[in-house]
Amino acid sequence: MEKIKKGNAWALLPLLLFVILFLGVGIVTGDFTNMPLNVAITITVIVALLMNRKESFTKKVEVFTKGAGHSNIILMMLIFILAGAFSTTAEKMGGVSSTVNLGLSLIPQNLIIVGLFVICMFVSISMGTSVGTVAAIAPVGFGFAQATDVPTALAMATVVGGAMFGDNLSMISDTTIAAVRTQKTKMSDKFRVNFKIVFPGAILTILILFFLTNGISIDRSKHYDFNLIKVIPYLLVLILALIGINVIIVLIGGTALAGIIGLIDGSFDWKGLLSAISKGIIGMEDIAMIALLIGGLVGIVQHNGGIDWLLQFVRSKVKSKRGAELGIASLVSAADISTANNTISIIMAGPLAKNIADEYDVDPRKSASILDIFGGCFQGLLPYSPQVISAAGVAGISPFLMLPYSIYPILLGVCGLVAIIFRVPRLKNS
């Protein structure tokens, strides 16, 4: 049995403060944009650094920088800036408007948002990253919202939902890999069990989106002209993602192709291309910095024993097999709410989840699926998760506005609970 270090509930105070600051100011003022995320997280980091007087300030800063410099955080930042470069270059070249107009011309208007969800599902499951999917597809979703009477928050939440579907199931997703490795099961076995649990949620999401947007209208007084050549960068991103090419290569390739097309057709000269790439990178800097600060904050909270306390608390409540599965779900949920990173939360909760699963005879295929499902569920709901922040940033809206439309992340959690409560699917020994 793996031992857990002594926990400290007080170490969770900075995270609680962060939520109170962000929510409190928004509720009091009636506008959630009045408390910028970067300000809220900076204040929280300062408070975290002032806690734990047993250690020197220098040591605490070192802990912060190690957390901020976690490989997952740095990769996330790289994806953000590359996605910014791609989206802005494609936009300046005319790719976004052409792609949106092509979609509006070909897809029946009552299936625009359903189509957006399905596209994000396939891109994410192929690319293996929800962050990359959101960053690449969100501008198109925003374009759909602008051209129709679909609420912008609904379009952005749909992008996030589709992205989380793929992140939860993709064979190359780091969350899937982490869940499989910690539970010592096979990737294919986990996929089959996981798919059976979440597929009904995806179908129900499609139906709900259809009924929600069935009456949408497109302004037919406008001409939705498109140039197929300008759509090619987005097609390239889609094809490369479906093939399973690394997201970094996908975004670099998309940016390069958008730049070449823009230079050839005169959308911009080489100075304009460099300016577009620069503006795209700068536009993502705020999101990237927030991700870095959250990573550092989580590092301090974990160092001070906050995460260990959460794990211990949940572990103490487990009494039965069904309780063990609920305990595993609670473990990864609490970890994800605390870290806003489903991969890190699975890595943290995974070893203890394995201990619980072994003790109460929970099938490792089921425990791996539960870890991935509930990590993804809250990742798609948290207003401070990178996926939600990124989508909200593209549209220029508060992340909180997306919450009522976060249909798939909610249903993902519901499907997980149904699977636990009713002990489905029935698994035979492999």
The answer to whether residue 428 sits within a structural domain is: no
Quote the DSSP letter at residue 332.
H
Residue 4 lies in a domain: no
H/E stretch holding 91 reads helix 71-93
Domain annotation covers residue 395? yes
User: In the structure encoding, which two tokens stand for residue 72, read together?
Assistant: 């997952």
Range of the domain at 369: 9-421
Alpha carbon distance 96, 87 (integer Å): 8
Q: What single DSSP character describes residue 219?
A: -
Q: Dig out the tokens for 86 from the structure.
A: 């791609």
Q: How far apart are CA 319 and CA 266, in angstroms?
A: 68
3 occurs within a structural domain: no
**For residue 124, which of 391, 370, 337 has the smallest C-alpha distance?**
391
Tokens 């990173």, residue?
341
CB of 350 closer than 8 Å to CB of 312: no
Residues in the chain: 430
For residue 83, with 0-12 CB atoms within 10 Å meaning exposed, 13-18 middle and 19 or more buried, which class applies?
buried
Q: Does residue 251 lie in a domain region?
A: yes
Per-position pLDDT tens, the chain of length 430: 445 566 888 998 998 888 788 778 877 887 666 778 788 889 999 999 999 888 999 999 999 999 899 887 788 788 878 878 888 898 899 887 787 777 777 778 789 999 999 888 887 886 778 988 898 889 889 989 988 889 999 999 999 999 999 889 987 787 888 898 889 898 889 999 999 999 999 999 999 999 999 878 776 556 667 788 988 888 887 788 767 788 788 889 989 999 999 999 999 999 999 999 999 899 878 878 887 888 898 889 889 988 788 778 877 888 889 999 999 999 899 888 877 888 878 877 887 788 889 888 999 999 999 999 999 999 999 988 889 989 998 999 989 899 999 999 999 999 999 999 999 898 776 5
Determine contact, residues 92/276, Cβ cutoff 8 Å: yes
The answer to whether 342 touches 376, Cβ cutoff 8 Å, is yes
Rounded Cα distance between 413 and 408, Å, is: 9
Give the contacts of 268 (CB within 8 A, at least 6 positions apart).
92, 93, 262, 275, 276
Asked if residue 404 lies in contact with residue 176, where contact means CB atoms within 8 angstroms, the answer is no
Evaluate whether residue 426 is within a structural domain. Answer: no
Is residue 231, in this structure, part of any structural domain at all? yes
Q: Tell me if 429 is assigned to some domain.
A: no
Distance CA 130, CA 121 (A): 9
Total structural domains within the chain: 1
3-state SS assignment for residue 55: coil
